[in-house]
Structure 1
Amino acid sequence: MQSDRSLASPSIPPRCKSVVMCHLDYCDGLDLYILEGANPGFLYQVEAFDPEDTSRNIPLHYFLIFHSVNFSMSANGTLFSTTEFDFEAGHKSFHLVAGVRDSQGLEASTTLHVNIVNVNDEIPRFTSPARVYTISEELVSGTIVANITAEDPDDKGFTGFLLYSITTPNRYFVINQLTGTIQVAHRLDRDAGELRQNPSISLEVLVKDRPSGGQENRMQITFIVEDINDNPAMCTKTTFSIMVPEREAKGTLLLDLNKFCFDDDSKAPNNQFNFTTPSGVGSSGRFSQDPAGSGKIVLIGDLDYENSSNLAAGNKYTMIIQVQDVAPPYYKNNIHIYICTKPENEFPLAFDRPSYVFEVSELRPARTRVGLVHATDKDFPQSSIMYSISMGGASLQYPNIFWINPQTGELQLVTKADYETTPIYILRIQATNVEDSSSVTVTVNILGENDEKPICTPNSYFLAIPMDLKVGTNIQNFKLTCTDLDSSPRSFRYSMGPGNINSHFTFSPNAGSNVTSLLLATRFDCASGLDKIWDYKLLVYITDDNLLSGRKKAQAHVETGTVTLSISVIPHPTTAVTTTARPRVIYQVRRKNVYSPSAWYVPFVITLGSILLLGLLGSLFVLLAKAIHRHCPRKTGKPKKLPVKKGEMKTTKPEVLVETIQMNSVFDGEAIDPVTGAVYEFNSNTGARKWKDPSTQMPRWKEPDPRGTAPSRAVAGEEAGPPRSTGERDGLSGKAPAEDAPIPETRMAAQAPQRAETQPSRATPKLHLGIQQ
């Protein structure tokens, strides 16, 4: 019978046949297998056969021939283990001899080979003695820093069955899982990062006897990274420039290099450094390092700026000093020190004048020289002085209309100045050198020039007049009002340019006033063919040279403005009624309609509404015409004309409407009437006029009768003229009023009498348009 705890057993016969001999019965041997560590107990059942006793059911007696402390056998042939076996302790196999005895005392025996099967029940054991490793920083990747070894008691002598790994997360080391060698995987910089604070790296190494399952063991190892002198001494600045006053005391500390230099190595002496003895041109006897190697530069000599030896060196000195490590390999770096002597400011920087006054014409162009400022420093005449404008010079369009040459101090214009905007500029000029600065006030007076053109209102206008308009008539009461920023109101002169064909038009006054009226100078003559143009486009020139004499006019700068007038002459107008409008202020409101595509519905609604409105008005007109046709009686015949005598029509006096307006009596201009040639005075603000000579009389002239009758004239003072006022102040030939009294302006409108009830008279009363004195 086979044991239940055997790992593997060969095919064993169920019984061992015994042969009864006179001295011995014999059975073949048997191999048995037991797992190590198995509990003591049943191993195998031995069976034997005896022909005599078996047939009579007599039991056989079994026993071990050689006593064993590890095994025992019962009388019925059951083999037991009495101890727990350990393969690694040397219990690998046992040789047992089992015997059997029958009732006659005959015996037989067989051999039992008990083999102990090795089980993986032992953890691997580390055999490497070191637990702490000291390595240097900056090792090359792949460098072997440790070799971890272990063995498995279950497989003693077979180390290839063990697997190694590092369980601690790290970036510095890797381990070969078959050999256990640890290599550098990442740069080890002892002077930076976490290693500068803690140079120890602890790792946990795991060893296993199979990839999954099995036995494993762990061990803690530590790497200590040692610092090496791999960083040279460095400085944040390797070039220094120092300004030292010429009267600086000896022994003064000029520079401490320790504040700027350092060594990144983490431990002494690798992070320690010192300084070599300074050397350089001109530094000997003037500068030194005290104490030696400390990096502290002190002044030991004289730096008088005017000293001949110092002047020979240019008052500039150069020093070279080295910073080096105190530990091998003694890295070095050069430091350059430049020292310049600063002269003492014994004399201030000053301008040659306490203030400057310059003048420049407003007509001068850009880059025009305005003036020159100059400053000096007696303490250091060779020093370069820089000039700048610190305040003033701003205009409405430019932050500064002046520019100063920073080297020469020449003041120039950036753009044209405008006298009318700013007549005086006050500038603050600053001069600066390496030692000092100073300021001076510069006043620039802008000289006013005639650089503004006259501007007139309106600048363009359209007029329509009848062909038979009387000479001297103010055309549609048109007045031209002009202004000039740099000229007096009496400086304007008006002249006609191209377009005034046959000189039909003129301005009155034509000079000396900023307000003038457009008059008809000559009649239109279309009967003789002299006038063939009905549309006139006049170009009016307004010049501001009226107050200049002939000599001054040739030298002065004159500006001219222009106004465009379009005049349309209406031949044979249907009405001849001439009215004079009361003076009024006309406001012109200009609006511009802008169409937006998003408001498409607006023109649609307007168009639809207009169509509906036109349809409604058309229907109303049709209904109105029908109503008039039904109710109005038809004409029975032509009405008879009433005879009217020609003489009666001539002696009929026209009705005259006289309106008196009180005007300002201050007259500030003079002009010549283009029709009479007489001199009159006028008010430039209101346009009121009066004759300068009270005895001046209006001339008489003939006017052709439009009906072809004999010419007739209306003379001032006759009965044919308009009725006089109570004070007899309407006639030109009357007594002239006092100059201090207000001058009334008379406006007249005439209505022609009718010949009969059905026929209006064609006679148009001829009124004399005089100038009220």
Structure 2
Amino acid sequence: MCYNGPRMTKKIGYRDWRWQALWWHHFFLLWTTIDGQTRYSIPEELKQGSVVGNLAKDLGLGLSDIFYRKLRVASEAGEQYFSVDAGKGELVVNDRIDREALCGQSASCVLPLQVVVENPLQSHRIEVEIRDINDNSPNFLTQEINLKIPESVALGKRFPLESAEDPDVGSNSLKTYSLSKNDYFSLKFKDTKNGKAVPELVLEKPLDREKNALHHLLLTALDGGNPVTSGTCKITITVIDNNDNFPVFNENEYKVSLKENSTKGTFVIKLTATDADDGLNGEVRYAFGSRTPDFVLSTFEINDMTGEIVLKGILDYESYRSYLIDITAKDKGVPEMEGHCRLQLDVEDINDNAPEIVLTSKPSPVREDAPSGTVVALISARDLDSANNGKVKLQLPKHSPFTLKPSFSNNYELVTSGPLDRESFSEYNVEITATDSGSLPLSSKKTIPVSITDVNDNPPVFTQPSYNVYLKENGVPGSILYSVSASDLDFGENAKISYSILDSKVQDVSASSYVYINSDNGSIYSMHSFDYEKLKVFQIQVQAKDQGSPSLSSNATVHVFILDQNDNAPAVIYPSSAALGSLSHQRMPRSAKAGHLVTKVTAVDADSGHNAWISYKLAEATDASLFTVNLYTGEVRTKRAVSEQDDSSQRLLIEIRDDGEPVQSSTVTVSILLEDGLHEPILDLRQKAVEPSKKTGRITLYLILSLASVSVLSLLTFLILAVKCIRSSRSSGSCCMRRTDCDDYKNPNRNLQIQLNTDGPIKYVEVLGGDMLSQSQSFRSCMSPMSEYSDFTLIKPSSTTDFKEVISVLDASLPDSTWTFESQQVILLLLDASDGSCAPITYRTVQRDLPPPPRSFSTVNVNNAKS
């Protein structure tokens, strides 16, 4: 059998035509008048609107009759191929006319029409002849014919071939066949009852299977049109032995359809083939063709005895929309003969595939400062289903910083639509939902990871804006002081931090000469040993800088507090050991009573806190029963009245110890000479104060000059401190003079250091502490008229004490009072040795967070001439 492409079967049964004609015949008997018949002839395939003829003129009707008498045309074929132009009375083509569809292979194709007019009622029969045009080529049902011919076949044996089909008629129909040139076969024709010639192969030369087992021929069918069209079919002849009848199927090609969700075991079709031979040569077995693909064999199954085909596997419209299956029917003869047919099975689609999202390009990392509209990835959507089942819509979740921008058919761009922040989200998992338009919509989701690359938009941040570091003095150079730490929210190089110390001054020396910082980990090391007595506190600015481009940085302040160690022994400031060595000579009257103040040993300790708490102890004495030393004030007093038996020369060894660990101590030797008739120094001072002295004018001049110098220095100091404080407040946001930043110093405990200045004629005491904050205040000093001694009185009144009352008490002492440290003032009174006048002096008080010493301060006698 031959197949040469799709064939259109467009025949209308003659039985149907006969019934329609009979009906119209009875209908026409009802009309009162039957007119004559008009005939037109037109070619097929005319365009719509083409004029067939002037129907009104041919029927003898006027144009007005068409409207008033309601002229209408009815087709006996049922299809309305023609209509009447009411304006012109012309019969025009109303639809495409295919002669082969109307009349098939009939030589004559006439369309009968019934024209009906009313008032009076009349009917006219007209005929339209449809002429054939050469619009079809000869066509074989199959493209290849396989023949098995026994080699014993006698010469002249004819083998019928499949006829070609040409829907055209007349001269345009099939006219002849031709056979390719060969040595064994010729082509002859056999006339049939319907007048068609059937081509036959005629054996012209004996076959020899051993010499040539296969013969390939080409059969060509030609029509008589102008131009001539043709169709071809390949003939493959296999030379075999015996069995001269082939099984023949009822039809050459079968066509069925199944839904793709059909279950296994679904019946497809039953095929039937017959064989004219008898016995085994006539028994037929069915099978799929030898070249049937494996996917067909795994999907369908054929019963070799009955020819029934059932569904064996699963149908999938998206994989195979149609199956073309070759079926063979073989007899049981020797050699066996076989016949062929083809089954076309079409698969009907259902919405069984969810849409698929395909990444056309992988998503690129996006900078966190990328502008809106930056393309991240290219995406396409597809659905293997057809029609509405294959239409896909994409959707993104709400509040996503991305959006989908269509580019062309089912292709999209994933672009940014808002600001990005890597520190909040370093990676986005963008979920895209695809939904089809099927009656029961299916959907799928795909997550696309989008990485956000870092931009250096965050500076390093210290764990705290300022650090307090407490460091013991006399430490080993190179030891670690502290480790600062900063973090950066950025990533990679943008988050790598290096530490450095900003250039600043500590006591007019660069801070880098005091400390060193490890740039990698922020560890701060000392460059040398610190001495608390020289430097008590300093601050440095540490900078953390990242390695981004451009780099960002931040600063932190490190306050370094030097903690005191007990590395200084108490220093005796009275009696002055510098001038007289460790021996001090004092005089006292023999008439002294118990409790008489002989002298007062005064010492200071450069240390602070407990290390500076000083206690006095009588270590050795000529007569230990005569003198006693106050543990806290250093006052040397008589324990009893002096007797005549006491030696006139007494020697005391006084030990001065601090409260540190380990204890530091020093000693001073006091030599006391007991004399008769010696008066109290203070009485002499008061008596001599009234007497004029020759030195009065000279001392007054010195006093005026000293006061002026001190005033100028105080003013300059105040200005310098104010400028430094303002600069410090601008750079670090704090000022040493601000009360809010000095909360650490509100503790009422204080530690005072007393230093006696012996330069010039004016003697003054500087009261020192160990803290950062200092204040300057001015008091009056009174000089004693005594030639050899001057007394200064250190008084600690409460905050409500009247200064006038204090000044009037020149020789008052507080031997056993308790020192309180509630924001109080210290007053220094110096007595002029010449005239007893009072002058203001400056002293400094420095607050310290240390417990108070368990002692009181009292009057200290200072040797004006020798100290």
Q: Provide TM-score, normalisation by structure 1.
A: 0.32
Q: Could you say which structure has the higher strand fraction? A: 2
Q: Provide TM-score, normalisation by structure 2.
A: 0.29
